[in-house]
Amino acid sequence: MQLISLAVYNRDGARRDVEFNPGRLNIVTGESKTGKSALLDMVEYCLGRDTIMMPVGPITSTVVWYAALFQLPDGARAFVARPAPREGAASTQQAMLEFGADLELLPFERLTVNSDTRALREQIGRHLGIEENLTDPGEFSARSALEANLGHAALLSLQGQVEIANRNQLFHRQSEPGIEQAIKDTLPYFLGAVPRDQALKRQQLREARRELQRIRGRIEAAEAAARSAEGEIRALLAEAIAVGLVDPLPPEPDRALILTTLEVAALQPATSTEGAGVPDGDGRLDLQRQRQDLRDELHAVVAERRLLLEAEVGERSYRGAVATQSARLSSLELLPPDRGDGGNSSTHCPLCASELTEPDATVEQLGDALATLRLQLEGISAAQPARRSALATLDERAAVLREELRVVETALRALVEGDRAVDSSERDERREFTRGRISAMLGVIRRVDENEIARLSQEAAIVGERVDALTAELDDDEMAMQLDSRLLEIGRDMTDLAQTLSLEHTGPMRLDLSKLTVITETDQGPAPLWRVGSAENWIGAHLVAHLGLHRYFARHGRPVPRFLMLDQPTQAWYPSDVEEWDGVPVGDSDREAVRAIFRLLLDAVADLAPHFQVIVCDHANLSEDWFQDSIVHNWRGGEKLIPAEWYESGE
């Protein structure tokens, strides 16, 4: 998208046109206070900004409509008109938008509101190639997902007078609340480093992960219920046997046999005693004896485990003492095999060879002692794995005994509760109470049976596959690599442009998206824009950064306007009003610097022609032919954006 023309309309219907050439360098030169800087504000307003930043003066007092005509990439044109905000207001969302192949600036009589700024940005953005997208701010971010639109793209195509020489601000409106973060969030999309549906897929990934977590929670709950039911059904079996509902089963019955037996017990009439022996009245004595046996065995296991732990503690102390003594004797290995004392090591010191008053242990004897201690240490270490295995076996056996003890105690407790519930000792009533409890438990087991767990596990597997697929598509490392690759290409162009412009630091340059600044490699290390001195260097860094970006946008067909609008890029070389009026700097070095800037812009446009347009509003008015050929408007000698008769007629 490139700019064909701008227009302003007054209350009488008169129109003032400002024409531009697509695919070329367009220079609007002139004196101060002629309305040059207002052109950038008009362009931004016509691209959908709600607030118009036009300074109060002749423009705001006479203009009632602002309009722009754009050439779109698909060959169509877009006519945009925005009414001036009502008196006392600075913003409006009203707009007019029309598309057509041969559109021209419309007359005042045809201007009418038929849209708003949101629809304007969306519809022009679609023609520009901005697809539906969402930029993901991160899973734990408080910010909402952001959709990149024409307004965000415009931030990459405009450089105001106070911005282009700003060492702390690289992009248009970067210092405004929320704008810096919006640029950080949307620039990777405009560079093509992230898929347009990245945020949607990340949202799907978060939802899939939450669903997987919920299913796994249900599986854990079902498995816990099944484990709990396992103990309950064994306790009910013991109770059913105790009250005579069923006959005793063989030792260690499996789960299927227990459930079958309980189902039979639940269907058995309460008055039936056929085939159901009732030992010891209601079987309590057997259960009590079984409980005592389990307690005795559990105590024995716990005692054996305690002995193993105590042995380990004592062994650890002994091992420490042996290891200390072994370490002391290890110094013997530093002695040479022969001290030259004729082998009389028992009467001479092995270190200094001085004669001993009393014979001491020989080096050989001490070495034998060291070898013995090392064998003892090896024996202790070898015993550790066996002890660990024994402790693990005892722990497993203790867990089994505790579960069996819980089952027996549950059965005994149920019998006592049954006595209280029936308020009688009749066997049939106690059986009926137990049969009801069995029926209730079988209902619970059916709800958490193995089929339900298997179904949930299958669901978890399906959702897990979706999580894996989305995770693979949204590989953060891959996206970071894609972004780095694009920034590397832009950085190479920036470095070449900086060398052409002969900036003070001509080392490698690059964009830092985390801080939205330019980084220059210097002899003293990397330097961000704010650490590079002089306005000339700040302006140069802005120019090479934005030209590098637009080179990339144009070459790779990215959905960004194909124009760059610059306001006063040569301000650092026009220190006096006389120079501003004349348009030619006095100093030779200043003239050469200004010439280098415009030559750089001219070459950048020619390199990408006809897919790139540069519009410069500036004081400069150099005499070179190529410069004069690029001038589209020269506002000097009374020539201004707003004709004098507009505001003179209003006085």
Stated length of the chain? 651
What's the Rg (C-alpha) of the chain?
45
Range of the domain at 387: 217-320+376-454
- Give dist(CA 480, CA 485) in Å, integer: 9
Confidence of residue 5 (pLDDT cuts 50, 70, 90): very high
- Give dist(CA 451, CA 455) in Å, integer: 6
Residue 541 belongs to a domain: no
Sign of CA dihedral 159, 70, 24, 606: positive
Residue 35 belongs to a domain: no
Look at residue 107 in the predicted model and tell me its pLDDT: 96
Q: List the structure tokens of 218.
A: 């249900």
- Give dist(CA 192, CA 180) in Å, integer: 19
Confidence of residue 588 (pLDDT cuts 50, 70, 90): confident
Q: List the structure tokens of 168.
A: 């702390």
Residue 497 belongs to a domain: no
Sign of CA dihedral 608, 609, 610, 615: positive
Residue 414 belongs to a domain: yes
Look at residue 125 in the predicted model and tell me its pLDDT: 94
Residue 447 belongs to a domain: yes
SS3 95: strand
**CA-wise closest residue to 501 among 594, 573, 419:** 594
Region of poorest pLDDT, from 39-48, 80-89, 242-251, 464-473: 242-251
- Give dist(CA 530, CA 332) in Å, integer: 67
| Average pLDDT of the residues in 86-112 | 93
**Position 514 pLDDT exceeds 80:** yes
pLDDT tens digits for 324-348? 655 655 554 554 554 444 445 556 6
Residue 335 belongs to a domain: no
Strand ranges inside 84-200, DSSP E:
94-100, 115-116, 158-159
> Mean pLDDT over all residues of the chain?
80
Residue 626 belongs to a domain: no
**CA-wise closest residue to 29 among 645, 609, 467, 634:** 634
Residue 446 belongs to a domain: yes
- Give dist(CA 74, CA 559) in Å, integer: 12
Residue 88: is it exposed, middle or buried by C-beta count within 10 angstroms (0-12/13-18/19+)?
Answer: exposed
Pairing of strands 613-618, 563-567: parallel
Q: List the structure tokens of 643.
A: 């004709």
Q: List the structure tokens of 476.
A: 């953060």
Question: Is the Cβ–Cβ distance between 620 and 610 less than 8 Å?
Answer: no
- Give dist(CA 234, CA 257) in Å, integer: 11
| Residue whose token pair is 């767990």 | 453
Helix (H) or strand (E) holding 413: helix 363-422
pTM listed for this prediction: 0.63
State how many domains the chain has. 1
Look at residue 280 in the predicted model and tell me its pLDDT: 44
> Which residue type, as a one-letter code, is found at position 425?
S
